């Protein structure tokens, strides 16, 4: 039987055609996997750059990173000896510039070595507590003494003394006012000399380290600011009033710890928003610290340079009292 010429064949794939199609799909998948894997590997390891280095490398200009803005120091430190130049960076500020130094320059660390007894506040020397500014029980003033009348000396006869003649006998001793001729005790060491200087009271701090800059006594890196002298006067006034209150009530020295008092310092020198933010010595000694600030205020008005630098209507101050 002869099949007609216009009869169409079957649309189904034969077995051979299915195997060829499956083989083509597998081959295509393998090619894609190889290309994708090579791309990722080259991006990670840079094989093509190692095999075919560029003959004319492009010059890429790297923009330098802008320097970080300097952080203003926020911790006041009492400086006894000023330095001619200021440090580039410092975490302390004062009314004078100071560079970190040590008498012994064997070690080289980021901070000077200071051999003290406390680790809480920066202090370079042991300075005793000041005397009372106002005694609790003042002694009454002594009554004024009446001036004594001087007796007129008797006139000597003219014949007794002649011009050019010497009077026999010893000259009369003239009374001299009594003076305290005892010289003050001179300091025997540099530490004693610094302790006698105009420094804020406190105990010397203890800090491990060492720097290569040599000096007769240890010093810290500190930057003088336009309001360093203003803040030093505030610290001195509050400290003096604090010691006066402690002496007037004769508190026991058995408690140790610290008290943090936060307040706003206004441009006219007044104090507002006064509150205790930390206390480890009890309510009574904490109240003494708060009263020391209230009674020492108001302080002097802000200097013009300080007003320009602050730029706000108040400064946030945290004053820390330490009981040892």
| Residues 212, 205: Cα–Cα separation, whole Å | 20
Residue 178: its pLDDT value, please?
A: 47
Beta strands in 90-228 (DSSP E): 92-94, 222-224
Q: Residue 182 pLDDT more than 50?
A: no
Q: Residue 294 pLDDT more than 60?
A: yes
3-state secondary structure of 270: coil
Contact criterion met (CB below 8 Å) for 288 and 246: yes
Q: pLDDT by residue (tens digit) across 165-181?
A: 444 554 454 454 444 44
Higher pLDDT, 128 or 54: 128
Q: pLDDT by residue (tens digit) across 251-286?
A: 766 788 999 999 999 999 999 999 999 999 999 999
Q: What is the CA radius of gyration of the chain?
A: 43
Where does the pLDDT of residue 49 fall: very low under 50, low under 70, confident under 90, or very high at 90 and above? confident
What value does the mean pLDDT take over residues 92-110?
89
Residue 239: its pLDDT value, please?
A: 93
The residues near 18 (Cβ < 8 Å, ≥ 6 apart) are: none
| Residues 218, 210: Cα–Cα separation, whole Å | 9
Residue 313: its pLDDT value, please?
A: 92
Q: Residue 132 pLDDT more than 70?
A: no
Residue 7: its pLDDT value, please?
A: 53
Q: Residue 37 pLDDT more than 60?
A: yes
Residue 179: its pLDDT value, please?
A: 41
Contact criterion met (CB below 8 Å) for 261 and 321: yes
Average pLDDT, the chain: 77
**Three-class DSSP labels, 192-261:** HHHHCCCCCCECCECECCCCCCECCCCECCEEECCCHHHHHHHHHHHHHHHHHHHHHHCCCCCCCEEEEE
Q: pLDDT by residue (tens digit) across 199-232?
A: 888 888 899 998 988 888 889 999 998 889 999 9
Contact criterion met (CB below 8 Å) for 319 and 293: yes
How far, in Å, are 49, 58, 67, 68, 248 from residue 61 at the CA level?
20, 10, 18, 21, 71
Task: For 75, list phi and psi in degrees, rounded to 5.
Answer: -110, 125
What value does the mean pLDDT take over residues 154-165?
49
Residue 288: its pLDDT value, please?
A: 94
3-state secondary structure of 321: strand
Domains of the chain plus CATH, in order, are: 71-133+197-224 (no CATH), 226-324 (3.30.1150.10)
Residue 53: its pLDDT value, please?
A: 67
| Residues 168, 165: Cα–Cα separation, whole Å | 9
Tokens of 155: 């006139």
Under the phi-then-psi rule, with left for phi > 0, alpha for psi from -120 to 50, and beta for the rest, what region is 173?
beta
Beta strands in the chain (DSSP E): 75-76, 92-94, 222-224, 257-265, 271-279, 315-323
Q: Residue 92 pLDDT more than 90?
A: yes
What value does the mean pLDDT take over residues 231-245?
93
* Pick from 53-67, 119-133, 138-152, 155-169: least confident: 155-169
Higher pLDDT, 91 or 190: 91
């Amino acid at each position: 039987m002869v099949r007609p010429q216009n009869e169409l064949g079957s649309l189904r794939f034969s077995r051979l055609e299915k195997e060829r199609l499956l083989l083509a799909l597998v081959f295509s998948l393998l090619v894609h996997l190889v290309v994708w894997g090579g791309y990722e590997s080259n991006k990670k390891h840079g094989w093509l750059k190692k095999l075919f280095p560029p003959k004319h490398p492009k010059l890429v200009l790297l923009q330098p990173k802008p320097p970080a803005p300097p952080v203003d120091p926020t911790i006041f430190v009492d400086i006894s000896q000023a330095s001619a130049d200021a440090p580039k960076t410092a975490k302390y500020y004062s009314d004078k510039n100071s560079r970190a130094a040590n008498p012994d320059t064997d070690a080289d660390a980021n901070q000077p070595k200071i051999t003290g007894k406390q680790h809480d506040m920066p202090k370079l020397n042991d300075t005793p507590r000041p005397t009372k500014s106002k005694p609790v029980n003042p002694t009454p003033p002594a009554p004024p003494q009446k001036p004594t009348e001087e007796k007129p000396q008797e006139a000597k006869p003219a014949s007794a003394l002649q011009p050019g003649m010497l009077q026999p006998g010893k000259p009369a001793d003239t009374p001299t006012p009594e003076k305290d001729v005892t010289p003050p005790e001179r300091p025997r060491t540099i530490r004693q000399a610094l302790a006698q200087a105009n420094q804020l009271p406190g105990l010397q701090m203890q800090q491990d380290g060492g720097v290569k800059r040599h000096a007769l006594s240890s010093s810290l890196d500190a930057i003088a600011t336009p309001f360093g002298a203003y803040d030093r006067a505030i610290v001195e006034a509050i400290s003096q009033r604090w010691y006066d209150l402690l002496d007037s009530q004769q508190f026991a020295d058995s408690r140790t710890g610290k008290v943090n008092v936060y307040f706003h310092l206004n441009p006219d020198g007044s104090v507002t928003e006064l509150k205790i933010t930390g206390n480890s010595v009890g309510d009574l000694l904490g109240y003494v610290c708060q009263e020391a600030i209230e009674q020492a205020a108001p302080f002097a008005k802000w200097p013009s340079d300080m007003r320009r630098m602050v730029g706000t209507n108040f400064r946030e101050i945290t004053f820390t009292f330490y009981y040892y």
